[in-house]
């Protein structure tokens, strides 16, 4: 089922501040920023997010000013905040999230929100303050592309970067993302759309900006996140809802490279691109992507809900 193309026009009616913003997800200029619910273009220092990456974040897709898959995002946010031992920040994040949405006014089309929760200020040293006052920073930006359109198949390269093994943080979208920063730099340097990141044992785990999926017959397979990786919201949607819509059984396990090379189809997913099929990896190529196209059509229906 094709999704309609939307132009993007975010017209804020509440307190906000415009700053310049560009990233690999297709975000363009004219971000609107709120710091703890108020307009702001500068982050007060000290802040443990800046000093130690002490916090978590969510990237949400908005359609006509309404956040999509909000429940999935706040479930993951709650898990991350609990993991970092700051669960009391969740209602604060929800409050400022609602404030930002309300300030967007007559927004049309697709845009993207980044919601960052920092532990806030604190004394020098790693130990978090007992009386921490979490800080919430929200930006909303236009998109340079339509996430309802299936992207062109991607070239997938290789990187020496591997995921660190840390079961305590596995699945959490915390602010320490250096592995992905370096992997994305390798992709750009090689002229590739993405790179495959392996775990410490050499098993495929993800790309730099998305969860990995393989199609093997009537099975949809994805790497387990027991030791590393991010529990993506689109990954969850695929496993819990979209796969069954296309007649697929799902499986999570520690996949091997030979399974990827033997797969009928390979794709990856994230909030901003949706699903993107893989065209080539090493000397393997995939010319047809019927299952990915079916899953994308099911995803489009979710975007319109």
Task: Render pLDDT for 201-218 as a digit per residue (tens, 0 to 9).
Answer: 999 999 999 999 999 999
Q: Is residue 25 pLDDT above 70, yes or no?
A: no
Per-residue pLDDT tens digits for 226-283: 999 999 999 999 999 999 999 999 999 999 999 999 999 999 999 999 999 999 999 9
Which part of the chain is CATH 3.20.10.10?
Answer: 154-303
Long-range contacts of 202-207 (CB under 8 A, 24+ apart): 202/257, 203/254, 203/255, 203/256, 203/257, 204/255, 204/256, 204/257, 204/260, 205/163, 205/229, 206/163, 206/230, 206/268, 207/156, 207/183, 207/268
Please provide the distance, in angstroms rounded to a whole number, between the alpha carbons at the two ends of the chain. Answer: 13
Q: How far apart are CA 285 and CA 270, in angstroms?
A: 22
Q: Where in the chain is the domain with CATH 3.30.470.10?
A: 17-142
Mean pLDDT across the stretch 95-114? Answer: 92
Inter-residue contact 57 to 116 (CB < 8 Å): yes
pTM, two decimals, is 0.89
- Interval 10-15 mean pLDDT: 33
CATH topology of domain 154-303: D-amino Acid Aminotransferase; Chain A, domain 2 (3.20.10)
Q: Which CATH class is domain 17-142?
A: alpha beta
């Amino acid at each position: 089922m094709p999704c309609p193309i939307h132009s993007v026009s975010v017209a804020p009616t509440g307190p906000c501040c415009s700053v310049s913003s560009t990233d690999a997800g297709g975000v363009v200029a004219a971000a609107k920023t709120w710091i703890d619910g108020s307009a702001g273009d500068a982050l007060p220092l000290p802040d443990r997010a800046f000093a130690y990456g002490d916090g978590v974040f969510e990237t949400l897709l908005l359609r006509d000013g309404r956040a999509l898959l909000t429940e999935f995002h706040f479930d993951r946010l709650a898990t991350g905040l609990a993991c970092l031992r700051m669960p009391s920040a969740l209602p604060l994040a929800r409050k400022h999230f609602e404030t930002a949405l309300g300030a967007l006014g007559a927004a049309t089309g697709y845009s993207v929100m980044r919601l960052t929760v920092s532990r806030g200020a604190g004394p020098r040293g790693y130990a978090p303050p007992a009386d921490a006052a979490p800080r919430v920073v929200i930006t909303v930006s236009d998109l340079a592309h339509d996430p309802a359109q299936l992207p062109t198949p991607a070239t997938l390269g290789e990187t020496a970067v591997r995921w660190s093994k840390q079961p305590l943080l596995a699945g959490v979208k915390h602010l320490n993302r250096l592995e992905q920063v370096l992997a994305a730099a390798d992709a750009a340097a090689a002229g590739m759309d993405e790179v495959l990141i392996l775990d410490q044992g050499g098993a495929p785990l993800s790309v730099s900006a998305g969860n990995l999926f393989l199609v093997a017959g009537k099975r949809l397979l994805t790497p387990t996140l027991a030791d590393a990786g991010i529990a993506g919201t689109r990954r969850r949607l695929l496993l819990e809802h979209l796969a069954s819509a296309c007649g697929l059984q799902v499986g999570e396990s520690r996949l091997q490279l030979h399974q990827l090379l033997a797969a009928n189809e390979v794709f990856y997913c994230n909030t901003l691109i949706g699903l993107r099929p893989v065209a080539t990896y090493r000397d393997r190529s995939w010319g047809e992507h019927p299952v990915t196209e079916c899953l994308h059509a099911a995803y489009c229906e979710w975007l319109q809900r």
